[in-house]
Amino acid sequence: MKEFMSYEASLEILRSTLAPWDRVEKVTLTQALDRRIAVDIAAQDNYPARPVSAMDGYAFAWQEGLSELELVTDLPAGSDKGLKVEGVKCVKTFTGSLMSEGTDTLIPVENVEVSGGKILIKKPVPKGFAVREVGESYKKGEILIKKGATIGYAETALLAELGIFNVSVFVRPRVAVLATGSEIKDLGEPLENAAQIHSSNHVGIAAMVRKMGGEPVLCEIVRDRAELVKDAIVRALKSADVLVTTGGISMGDYDFVKGALGENFDIIIDGAAIKPGRHIKVAKAGEKYIFALPGFPYSAMVMCVLYVRVLLNAWFGASEPKITAIMDEDYKKRSPFLEFTAVNLVNRDGKIYVNLDGKKLGSSAIVNNLTNDAALLIIPKETEFIAKGEIVEVLKMV
């Protein structure tokens, strides 16, 4: 039986071959969603720079036992009258307005009664109530978005708040996706007999690559003929930085991807002691990478996370999204390898739990095991059983 290297050893090999990904471009903020940011974003100033009201009310200098205040004027949001408030006077202040000099507390409008020019306090508030202090959101110099992070809706809003319109992002690596197999048909093609299926993993992996920060390029499906497979690989590499193939790497008579890689490229990883996908192969063509993944869609997508995402995250300077959780049921390991099993993450009472509700036992073809934001439970090689309540490691999918 073939001896497989450990997953950790295979990643060490992969990372040792990497050159920095230094291709950066600027895009407008409105076009930056889901891009990987290429620089750390630090706060240039405290925010807010001055104390600000957190709601509509009356700003005053807090004193013990105050029952009424003298209303001086109002201060709409966006205005700065340079007011200085002393004694038991107050300023009607609106949400987002600056707190006037000399004030330190805001009493909401619903806590008072207005009588002429007097504000009668019906329900007192503690000192500092409803005031956003200087630097509440962030302090000057604080790193707000780390290099390599994906720009989501919150990052977009934060960048806008910082006044950043043009954002430095990594150029998306072009990742060609090539599905192989005489049994698979492309989307829209009719199935000619019961032995044929529609290919799912090429479009699924393309979607994953997009979420990972790459630019997917879908290739035509290639039938199981050695010369066709070799030619398709060579063509795909001409316009891509990375090639991901699916199928053709196991022990079958028609597994021609394995042969094409061995004859024409430098194979740096030839299998790993993991489940699923232990027959994975990673090859290099100059500075370009080829990831040969299994044909079953579940295996292919899991291996895309375990290897292709590692490459892209290393290029972007980002870390792998691994978390700890609590096992919510007993689990018996199914193989002698390091396992990655699809699970559900559930937030209950502020704690993250793991369960396998709705996950089907069977082959590595069950792609629906990855739906509903599934994650991957990491089960070490030496572990045979996980008891309910144990702390486990979980790898998030894309």
Residue 213 lies in a domain: yes
Residue 137 lies in a domain: no
Q: Which of 82, 107, 132 is the last residue of a domain?
A: 132
- Enclosing domain of residue 150: 24-45+143-170
Residue 84's contacts (CB-CB under 8 Å, 6 or more residues apart) are 100, 101, 102
What is the predicted pLDDT for the residue at 255?
Answer: 67
What is the predicted pLDDT for the residue at 256?
Answer: 77
The conformation of residue 367, written as its DSSP 8-state character, comes to G
Residue 363 and residue 336 share a domain: yes
User: Residue 341 is part of a domain; what is its CATH number?
Assistant: 2.40.340.10
Low-confidence ranges of the chain (pLDDT < 50): none
Best CA proximity match to 356, nearest among 347, 345, 348:
345
Give the ranges where 198-253 is alpha helix by DSSP (H): 201-212, 226-238
Residue 270 and residue 211 share a domain: yes
- Total number of residues shown for the chain: 398
What is the predicted pLDDT for the residue at 253?
Answer: 55
Residue 98 and residue 222 share a domain: no
What is the predicted pLDDT for the residue at 1?
Answer: 60
Question: Do residues 266 and 283 lie in contact, with contact meaning Cβ atoms separated by under 8 Å?
Answer: yes
Give the helix, strand, coil percentages of the chain, each rounded to 5. 20, 35, 45
Collapsing DSSP to helix, strand or coil, 41 comes out as strand
- Record the tokens describing residue 306, joined without a space: 């375990």
Residue 31 and residue 166 share a domain: yes
What is the predicted pLDDT for the residue at 251?
Answer: 60
What CA–CA distance (Å, rounded) separates 3 from 116? 88
Report the number of distinct structural domains present in the chain: 4
Residue 163 and residue 31 share a domain: yes
Residue 33 and residue 148 share a domain: yes
The CA R_g of the chain, rounded to the nearest whole Å, is 29
Question: Do residues 40 and 145 lie in contact, with contact meaning Cβ atoms separated by under 8 Å?
Answer: yes
Question: Do residues 217 and 176 lie in contact, with contact meaning Cβ atoms separated by under 8 Å?
Answer: yes
What is the predicted pLDDT for the residue at 385?
Answer: 96
The neighbouring-strand residues paired with 26 are: 168
